[in-house]
Each structure stands twice: as C-alpha cells, then as structure tokens.
Amino acid sequence: MQHHLPLFTGPYAPGITDVMLDYSDKSPFIRLYYPSEEELDANKQSDKWIPWMPDDSYLEGMAKVLMLYKIFLKIAFWWSKNVKIPAMYGTRPKSTLGPLKCILMSHGLGGCRFLYTNICCELASRGFLVAALEHRDRSACHTFYYKTKADALKDIRSSIEFLHVNFGKNHYTKRNEQLKDRATECKEVMKFLKDLNEGIVPNNVMDETPLHKTSPINFKLNQLVGMLDLDNIVMMGHSFGAATALYTLSQHLEFKLGVLLDPWMFPVKNEQLESTITQPLLFVNTQTFHIEANIQSMSKLMDAKKEHQMFTIKHTTHENQTDTVLLVGYWLNWFMKKINPLKALKINNSLILKFFKDHLKYPENISDCLEILNKEVDNIELGLTKPWA
C-alpha cells in the first residue's frame, strides 16, 4: 500500500486548514480545502504532508459506527496508519486566481470532515474552495468542540459521539430532525463565507489550539476577504450528506448547483423536493447502493427541464466515493467484480468537473477529464440508476 493518497491532478497545490467558529457544541466545524501559494512539487513538500487520520478518537468513532471492536478496525487500518494527505496544512491560499468558486460538502452517516479528502483536494487543485463540514448532529463518527478559550489553549476537547438510531417508527422522525439540523449548519457556513468575503472576519477557535500555535500556520481567515465567488456557490454531499444537500438546496436558493453522490433519500422522502428545487443537479451514483424505494424518490427529481442529470459508475459500491477504499480496499459486496478504486474516483471527479464546466464555465481546461470519460465510457451509465437486486 502507498503511504499517501494519490497525487491530485490539477494545476494548483492544495492547502488544508481546519476552522471552528465558536466555543459551542453547535458551532460549525469545517475543513477548508483550497488552492495554495505553494509550488506544485511533491518531492519538496512531502515532509510537510499531514496524516489522513488526525488521531485515534476518529478511529474509535469509526469502530462505533461499524459496531466493531476497535482492535479489528486497527488491524484493518494497520497498512494505512501513516498514510499522508499530499497537501500542506495551514498554507496561504493562492491570491492570484481571482474570486474562488465555493463548494459546501456534507458528509454521510458516520463520516467526518476528512473522509472525502480525495474529492475535496482534487477540486482544490482545480481552483475551488471546498468547505467540508463535520456535522454536530451526532451523525459524524466523531467530532469535538472547545467549551472555552482556556480549553482550546490546553487542547481540552469535549467530544460529540455518534448516535445509533434503531430502525422502527421513530427512525424517520430522528433522521429528518438530523437532516434539518444539518441544513441549518450549511446555512450558517454559507453566512460565514458571505460575511468573511465582505470583511467580517470571525475568530477561528483552532488558532488558539497548540496545533496552530506551535506549527507554521500561514493561513488566516482574513486572507480570503474579497476572494470568494458566492454568486455561484455549490452544495454537495454524499449519502446522508446528499440528502442534506437536496434539502438545503430546496430551502436556500443562494446555492446555485447541487452535486449528489449516492444520495440516501430516506430522510427526505416526505419533503416534496421536486416542487421546490429549481437548481441544476448532478447525481453520481454507485451500482450497488440503491434499492427500489431510493430510486423512486430520486426519479421524482429527474426533470430534464431543470437540467438534472444522473450517472451510475458501474462495478462500484457505496464506499467508492470515500477515501477508505483507497486505504484499506473494498469492504462491501465482496463477491462482485469491482472497478479499480482510483479509476472510479477519477470518473467521479471528472463527472463533477464537467458539470461545473457546463454550468460555471470553470475550470477553463478539463481536457484530461473529458479524456477519462471517453476512455471509461463502458463503466458509465447515463440515466436513472437501476435497483440493486
């Protein structure tokens, strides 16, 4: 196994910085991915790359999500324990690109702010700013906050642990409640970006922590003032995060495009989104996730007049849009013939970038993406995803 995620293919070196907006268990916690001022030279930068897994608390959280003993997950992740992200933490954003197109990313059930690093860093390497939330509704595998500045200075964290919700009559009610909490967070992050762009710069609680005080952090939020294009903001999510994206799009027309990766439609099944979503949508689905009820819910949104597109990447499973399949291989549908996981992510990212090119006229050059899509045409199916029997 390689000791870093695959190198990103855009013309800019991605930067990463964590931002926490208040001393509260309700305050948004996001990881920003963005094009940086750094030279695009992996050989010079590799000693400054950061670990994919920030600490063991997230491994413990993943074990809780999967209802496994931590030791089993540690064995599974043994090969990838020291895997790095080929991006620099706390580096300055590139100041010569003009306003950065912005994307909000919502994670799936049991996810976190770094689970989709390949997708987010690839987009950053193409000139986008991605704000990946770590939701506070107890749907993240693990997250944390600081109660006070004193706690932040000493790195005394207050944990928010994953909540298992049993199937039954209250399942939909709880998931729909979480959905609306998540959408509120998305709205708050959008407001944060708008205020920041206008020069209202909040305190980043993470700047009070030992990590930021003892490391060479050259990123400051004020470097993004006047640097964001918020007329074309994108809402994106995976699984529960894609349901969150759909609901957020229905409530906030400030989001201009939606990217839905393998949406789990159960939490929005009664929301009548087909009558409220007017923005262009891109669905990118895997082959094995969708049962008939999920497909029926998605089909209501497939209105060509609204520029809604759906693609299925063949020979893939629900994990293909996360980083885990790059780190520990496939876990799901063991006996199915599957595509190479990096190839699947390249198809996924190329479909997203083509969608952005069509609707945002950016990035300027996606010739490599079009080449991938042409080469892999047999692994891509356009139209409503078929149910997995």
Q: Is the pTM of this model over 0.85?
A: yes
Averaged pLDDT score across all residues of the chain: 93
278-315, pLDDT tens digit by residue? 999 999 999 999 999 999 999 999 976 679 999 999 99
Strand order in the sheet with 29-35: 49-51, 84-89, 14-20, 29-35, 128-133, 100-106, 228-238, 257-261, 281-286, 308-313, 380-382
Question: What is the Cα 311 distance to its own chain's centre?
Answer: 19
Q: How far apart are CA 17 and CA 92, in angstroms?
A: 9
Please name the amino acid found at residue 319: E
Find tokens 């992996």 and name the residue.
42
Residue of 80, 125, 239, 297 marked catalytic: 239
181-231, pLDDT tens digit by residue? 999 999 999 999 999 999 999 999 999 999 999 988 999 999 999 999 999
pLDDT at position 259 is: 98
Vertex 146: Cα angle to 179 and 173 (nearest 5):
20
| CB-side neighbour CA atoms (13 Å) of 60 | 8
CB 65 within 8 A of CB 141: yes
Vertex 5: Cα angle to 192 and 41 (nearest 5):
85
Q: How far apart are CA 226 and CA 220, in angstroms?
A: 14
Q: Using CA of residue 381, residue 105, residue 273, residue 176, what is the dihedral sign?
A: positive
Mean of pLDDT values over 137-155: 97
* Strand 308-313, strand 281-286: pairing: parallel
pLDDT at position 79 is: 54
pLDDT at position 1 is: 43
CB 16 within 8 A of CB 51: no
For the chain, which residues make up each domain, given as ranges?
A: 14-382
pLDDT at position 335 is: 72
77-126, pLDDT tens digit by residue? 655 567 899 999 999 999 998 899 999 999 999 999 999 999 999 999 99
Find tokens 């991938």 and name the residue.
372
Lowest mean pLDDT among 33-37, 300-304, 377-381: 300-304
Percent of the chain at pLDDT > 70 equals 95
pLDDT at position 328 is: 82
* Strand 100-106, strand 228-238: pairing: parallel
pLDDT at position 234 is: 98
Mean of pLDDT values over 375-381: 97
Q: How far apart are CA 327 and CA 79, in angstroms?
A: 8
CATH number for the segment(s) 14-382: 3.40.50.1820
Q: What is the CA radius of gyration of the chain?
A: 20
Residue of 137, 207, 262, 323 marked catalytic: 262
Mean of pLDDT values over 64-69: 77
**Residues contacting residue 55 through CB under 8 Å, at least 6 positions apart:** none
pLDDT at position 74 is: 61
Torsion angle of the four alpha carbons 181, 185, 191, 196, in this order, in degrees rounded to the nearest 10: 160
pLDDT at position 73 is: 59
Other CB atoms within 10 Å distance of the CB of residue 133: 26
Instruction: Assess whether 158 carries a catalytic annotation.
Output: no
Instruction: Assess whether 239 carries a catalytic annotation.
Output: yes
331-350, pLDDT tens digit by residue? 777 678 899 999 999 999 99
